[in-house]
Structure 1
Amino acid sequence: MTDRLLVCGLGSGMDRSLTELRSPRWELVVATDRPTDRARAAADVLLAVDPNDAVAVLAQLSAAGIDRIDGVFSLGADNPPVISTLARRFGCPGLPLETALDCTLKDRRLRILRAAGLDLPRFATAESVGEAVRAVADIGLPAVIKPSDQTGSLGVLKAETADQVRPLAEEALRLSPGGRIVVEEFLEGTEHTLAAFMVDGELHPFGFADREYGRKEEFAPHFFEGGDTLPSRLTAEQIAEVVDTVRRGAAALRLDPAVVNTDILRTHDGRVVLLEITCRLTGARIATEVMRLATGVDPLPNVVRLALGRPLDLAELRPRHSRAVVQRFLPADGGVVEWVGDPRDVARRTGVYDVFWGLDLSPGTVVPPYRGGADVLAGVIAHAERPEEAEAVAERTLRALPLRFKAGTP
């Protein structure tokens, strides 16, 4: 019998990987609220549905006459509880729902990691503005205020003065479906992403990137992440320390067997702090294209094996080469589009792997002011022999984008 795979949820740009998942060995069902042409072309069955709503996904599967699923995962979408719910419903491999909730809900994750002795920012939870004000008074300024139950940096805000705390807490509470927010100590240092598989207590990394935060606070109180860089500037010893910290965090959260995505901060005095750890593939094309371009490691075959309950092929996780690769983003920060061309016109430059719009743009499109990590105007993936050369290629490419705003706008 042919296996049936359900890809439930596509992160930003991750529909590009669907073509690589097509195989005569299985039927590919895709559930997404962004049914792009790529998704339509790659899927055997395409369901236009909110992948964050398990009930809606199950209803669409039923309407399509699908009563058997052999493996389920997302491509970079941050919806582990839905994946766990679907896996349990169809009796296919997957983590328990409580485990998925533990790594998705920030307050639960922080409590578990703290109990396991992991190094964390000082934090508190709040269900009202008054509680948030008291939490900041105890933790100190600056502080980060964020919804406990949102993803993609939505509602993550930095409070630098006492006057900012109340309105920022109100905003974070407004964005929290459960009415619960987290207040954290603001720490400074370098930030990194580790992508790995955790199986039988062993962590198997397949990608490590430095996160680009040179413009991090340009849009305060919101944060802006400018992209990723490989190889890392950290030493082998420092990377090993990060890997061990992630292994301890994954074990504490019982993410086993699982594909693991993490965000790590290494403070200026050498502390390794887990900012995020969750059971999903790293999104925004990082694990599937940026890391693969740098090392030659394609994680997708092992993601499929994990979803089907089959052993990993660890040989496929060994780097095949080392190349400098960067992904860089331009923030979407207001304006009215006067003219827009095809970004592929500048993709022919040496060292450019891809250049793309982050929004659907056409003359007259109104781009709102920047409000968080999902507000990307455009991006580029570039490669070269050294990171600084790849970054220079990316910067030149972004400056040459075929886009013009109306006078008086960016």
Structure 2
Amino acid sequence: MSSLLILGAADGAVPTYQCASKMGYRTVCVDINAGAPGVPYADEFLHVSTRAPELVATALAGRDDIVGVLAPASDIALPTQRQLALHFGLPDPVSASAVAASADKWEFRQVCDRLGFPSYRTVAGSPGGELVRAARGLRFPVLVKPVDSTGSRGVVPCGVPGSLAAAIRDAVTFSPANRLVVEEFVDGTHLTVEALVRAGRPVFHTVSARTLTPPPYFITATQTVPADLPDGVEARLAEMLATLVAELGYASGPLNLDAVLGHDGELYLVEMGARSGGNGMAELVEASYGVDLLAATVSLAVGDPVTVVPRPPRPVMLWVLAADRPGRLAAVHGLAEVRAMPEVLDVRLFAAPGDQVKPYDQAANKVGYVILAADTPAALRTAATTVTRSLSVELMAP
């Protein structure tokens, strides 16, 4: 039986395991965390870091059943994905340029500047006086980010120059490379772009509008597909995607980007990943457009042909369920009522009663999410309000 190697088992990877199994592939999971949400969905588990391609290759030595490798919702695993694709002789390894732009936020900023995309001032470096001095010249507020983290881990907002040293100290603990990027905060509408690339060209993309949690974390609270964009933005985005893919030499696979439509009308690309997005993006796309991006991604990974035929989009939304403080989960109230709503397509929970949960300060710490769909944006918003009023997280007494 053919096996698909999947790097990472965070909640954002779970749909990929389910999709691959449905398509008839045996799944091999690689993760350093044996308790990660995706592990139970895999046919085989390798207790190895996704940053250690040589250990993965050693564990799979002599195997001839590996037909593809993916790193869903994980930028940090993309270098390993590329190395293992080359090691096993798999189709269309992610280009070195696409890996670099995905795994290093500073490298992506350099790509955007080189292509003449709308930009904002950014500095990068290791912690120390030189980085602080360079960052003081930026327009505040700024965001201090590890160049190599994912899922909003280690992103620290900084409102004034006097707080830079503390922000840098907090952020760098999340950077294996001990490097940071400090960037001017761009205010506007926060967007996620989910695309599919085939034969070096984007063949599908959609945009979701994100609402974020309040400072200091700025984590996704809801995502709505399709985003309601002003005239001309879609055409600009399509041109930017084609230019970016060509510059990176990205042959085939998924592409995920964070972007901001600024109050100045400019479209700013913020970060990219040459991989599928988390936070239920594939489910949103399928519910809205009828396009199974995960099945297409798996097919491209194993070298099979892919055809994408989207239907006119239907308004859909992802609503995140989270705890406001650490503790052990006692119950999630309102589940029966929410599941009975005609607008609710799916409810996914990543914690069970008795599990330790964390506050929602990074994307991996969600308790679950709800996928909703409606015939109109107004009806979708009304349904989301009902979900907000109905669902609540109860923690056990200390």
TM-score where L is the length of structure 2: 0.89
Structure 2 residue 57 is the aligned partner of structure 1 residue 76: no
Structure 2 counterpart SS, 1:167? helix
1:333 partner letter: D
- Structure 1 stretch displaced more, 319-328 or 385-394: 385-394
Answer yes or no: is the 8 Å Cα contact 1:9–1:31 preserved in 2. Answer: yes
Q: Which structure 2 residues correspond to residues 231-242 of structure 1 after superposition, within 5 A? A: 231-235=226-230, 237-242=232-237
Aligned-pair CA distance for 1:341: 4.5
1:174 partner letter: T
Percent identity of equivalent pairs:
27
Q: Which structure 2 residues correspond to residues 158-169 of structure 1 after superposition, within 5 A? A: 158-169=157-168
Aligned-pair CA distance for 1:142: 0.9
Instruction: Summarize deviations over 1:247-283 as a string: whole Å, max 9, x none.
Output: 2222222222332111111111211111112210112
Structure 2 residue 286 is the aligned partner of structure 1 residue 292: yes
Q: Distance in 1 between matches of 2:28 and 2:359?
A: 36
Instruction: State the match for 1:397 in structure 2.
Output: 387
1:276 partner letter: E
Counterpart selection for 2:277 from 282, 305, 308 = 282
Structure 1 counterpart SS, 2:232? helix
Instruction: State the match for 1:265 in structure 2.
Output: 260
Q: Distance in 2 between matches of 1:112 and 1:334?
A: 38
Structure 1 counterpart SS, 2:136? helix
Instruction: Summarize deviations over 1:10-55 as a string: whole Å, max 9, x none.
Output: 34243244333226764433334456787545x4434343334323
Structure 1 counterpart SS, 2:135? helix
Counterpart selection for 2:343 from 339, 351, 368 = 351
Aligned-pair CA distance for 1:130: 1.5
Structure 2 residue 255 is the aligned partner of structure 1 residue 256: no
Rate the CA distance shift 1:305–1:175 in 2: closer, same or farther, 3 A: same
Q: Distance in 1 between matches of 2:11 and 2:362?
A: 14
- Structure 1 stretch displaced more, 338-347 or 390-399: 338-347
Instruction: State the match for 1:59 in structure 2.
Output: 58
Q: Distance in 2 between matches of 1:114 and 1:264?
A: 15
Structure 2 residue 373 is the aligned partner of structure 1 residue 383: yes
2:86 partner letter: R
Structure 1 counterpart SS, 2:364? coil
Q: Distance in 2 between matches of 1:6 and 1:333?
A: 35
Q: Distance in 2 between matches of 1:11 and 1:77?
A: 9
Q: Distance in 1 between matches of 2:40 and 2:140?
A: 48
Q: Distance in 1 between matches of 2:184 and 2:204?
A: 28
Q: Distance in 2 between matches of 1:385 and 1:44?
A: 38
Rate the CA distance shift 1:329–1:190 in 2: closer, same or farther, 3 A: same
Answer yes or no: is the 8 Å Cα contact 1:31–1:46 preserved in 2. Answer: yes
Instruction: Summarize deviations over 1:105-144 as a string: whole Å, max 9, x none.
Output: 1112212221222222211112123223212211121111
Q: Which structure 2 residues correspond to residues 197-212 of structure 1 after superposition, within 5 A? A: 197-212=196-211
Q: Distance in 1 between matches of 2:8 and 2:358?
A: 25
Rate the CA distance shift 1:393–1:8 in 2: closer, same or farther, 3 A: same
Instruction: State the match for 1:127 in structure 2.
Output: 126
Instruction: State the match for 1:326 in structure 2.
Output: 317
Answer yes or no: is the 8 Å Cα contact 1:68–1:90 preserved in 2. Answer: no
Answer yes or no: is the 8 Å Cα contact 1:228–1:327 preserved in 2. Answer: yes
Aligned-pair CA distance for 1:392: 2.7
Answer yes or no: is the 8 Å Cα contact 2:152–2:219 preserved in 1. Answer: no
Q: Distance in 2 between matches of 1:366 and 1:219?
A: 24
Q: Distance in 1 between matches of 2:106 and 2:367?
A: 31
Structure 2 residue 44 is the aligned partner of structure 1 residue 45: yes
Q: Distance in 1 between matches of 2:287 and 2:5?
A: 26
Aligned-pair CA distance for 1:158: 1.2
Instruction: Summarize deviations over 1:129-167 as a string: whole Å, max 9, x none.
Output: 322321221112111110111111111111111222110
Q: Distance in 2 between matches of 1:136 and 1:87?
A: 38
Instruction: Summarize deviations over 1:348-388 as a string: whole Å, max 9, x none.
Output: 22211222334x3535x665554333332442111111223
Structure 2 counterpart SS, 1:243? helix
Q: Distance in 2 between matches of 1:197 and 1:322?
A: 17
Q: Distance in 1 between matches of 2:103 and 2:263?
A: 28
1:107 partner letter: W
Rate the CA distance shift 1:309–1:384 in 2: closer, same or farther, 3 A: same
TM-score where L is the length of structure 1: 0.86
Q: Distance in 1 between matches of 2:387 and 2:249?
A: 43
Answer yes or no: is the 8 Å Cα contact 1:157–1:223 preserved in 2. Answer: no
> What 5-or-longer segments of structure 2 have no aligned partner?
none
- Structure 1 stretch displaced more, 67-76 or 85-94: 67-76
Instruction: Summarize deviations over 1:219-262 as a string: whole Å, max 9, x none.
Output: 42x22221210121114532121222222222222222332111
Structure 2 residue 79 is the aligned partner of structure 1 residue 86: no
Q: Distance in 2 between matches of 1:19 and 1:372?
A: 24
Instruction: State the match for 1:137 in structure 2.
Output: 136
Q: Which structure 2 residues correspond to residues 106-117 of structure 1 after superposition, within 5 A? A: 106-117=105-116
Instruction: State the match for 1:104 in structure 2.
Output: 103
Q: Distance in 1 between matches of 2:4 and 2:328?
A: 40
Instruction: State the match for 2:305 in structure 1.
Output: 311
Rate the CA distance shift 1:371–1:106 in 2: closer, same or farther, 3 A: same
